[in-house]
Amino acid sequence: MTHYLPRSTSGMMFGRPIPSQFSSADDLLISISNNGSSSDKAIIENLRIDTRVSESRAESFLQLICNQGLGPQEALNLYSSTKAARDFQTTSTNESNLAKCPPPTSQELLPNNTEFVSLMVIWPTLRSEIKTALKPLMELDEPLAESEFVQLLERVVEQDANLPVSRLQDAIEIAHQQLLHNVRGANDRFVWVGLSSEFEPLLQRYASDPARLLEVFGLGHLLVQSASNSEILPPKFILVLKYSIDELTTVARPSVLEAGLNPWHFPTCVSIVARDGGRTVILGQAFAAGIQPLREYVHNYRAIRKSDVIGILKFVPEPACNIDVAAARANHLKWTCLRNVI
């Protein structure tokens, strides 16, 4: 049976020895591993063993620690927010991760008709832009009040046949394009996606329990963030988006540098071919139900089109939500070892 964790990771970064000029980084990793929380330890473990980070990217990251005096997590947060889809533009940069890259190459590993699904929480700024876009579309004198907007979204979730859903889809497209126009560099960020063929059966199964869909999609951090904000937790609405790989220029398998400070990400093994994709770490009830981890990819940011929007889910956060990071990762490791995949 293959085991993906090395017996000792001391002196290692990204699955290889830390270069001598960056040796001071090792002391910081050891300190956090010994004294940090389970989430901190998970992130450090990812940095130690993720072999899919290319040498050029690894050196850039280590320079942030040793030359700029940042802690590993500070460096990871900074790197993941500044390095983006352009890092995957050439096969020489991260060949082992690429599934599609311009210009087309013989190494493309996903069929042209591959369909992706992504989940996007309608966060406050997007909500505001959608309400603004709805005003002329619905011939309103003023933008919808928040309570009216929530009622509109709930009607969509309930599939109210009397509601012209196309207007909301138009508003979402307009709102997202406006956000991209307002935020410089947004179109070079990553979007995390799963394969539609794997996700759609789960969507049918868990449409009435979206928290499980967030678990399956590897979005456990959203559950915890929601639970820690307040005792009175308003509902969240999640867009379900579906589109073809043909509309994307760069698709890759994620590494810890894309995952940033998400402790539920589990690094991929270099011995597994890229077409198998990474795997989400299944959490909580979804794991207990025997749901298999989804293959996951990242791609370059693109504007949402109204045709992408295939559904809206209502998610009511659970104030007592508590997810054991160490247990989730242990369960995931057990699953991958039993099946010799990751």
- Under 8 Å between Cβ of 206 and 213: yes
Q: Look at residues 218, 212, 211, 195 and name the one whose alpha carbon lies nearest to residue 282.
A: 218
Q: Report the candidate in 117, 151, 116 with the shortest Cα–Cα distance to residue 131.
A: 151
**pLDDT given at position 102:** 72
Task: Look at residue 71 in the predicted model and tell me its pLDDT.
Answer: 81
Q: What is the pLDDT of residue 75?
A: 85
Per-residue confidence (pLDDT) for residue 231, from 0 to 100: 61
The tokens of 269 are what?
A: 């093994």
Give me the DSSP letters along 9-73. -TTEETTEEPPGGGTHHHHHHHHHHHHS-HHHHHHHHHHHH-TTS-HHHHHHHHHHHHTT---HH
Per-residue confidence (pLDDT) for residue 229, from 0 to 100? 52
Rounded to an integer, what distance in angstroms lies between the CA atom of residue 93 and that of residue 35?
Answer: 34
- pLDDT in single tens digits along all 342 residues of the chain: 344 444 457 888 888 899 988 888 888 888 888 888 888 888 888 888 887 787 888 888 888 888 888 888 888 888 876 655 556 655 544 555 777 777 666 567 788 889 999 999 898 899 999 999 999 999 999 889 999 999 999 999 998 888 889 999 999 999 999 988 887 655 556 789 999 999 999 998 888 888 888 888 888 667 766 555 556 667 889 999 999 999 988 888 888 888 888 888 887 655 555 556 678 888 777 777 888 888 888 888 888 999 999 999 998 776 656 777 888 888 887 777 666 555
How confident is the model at residue 337, as a pLDDT? 67
Q: How far apart are CA 332 and CA 335, in angstroms?
A: 5
**Is 0.95 topped by the overall pTM?**
no
* Phi, psi angles (nearest 5°) of residue 52: -90, 10
State whether residue 171 is helix, strand or coil: helix
Distance CA 165, CA 311 (A): 10
| Beta-carbon contacts of residue 285 (< 8 Å; ≥ 6 apart) | 211, 212, 215
pLDDT the model gives residue 2? 40
Q: How far apart are the first and last CA of the chain?
A: 13
Q: SS3 of 246, please?
A: helix
Contact 126, 175 (CB under 8 A): yes
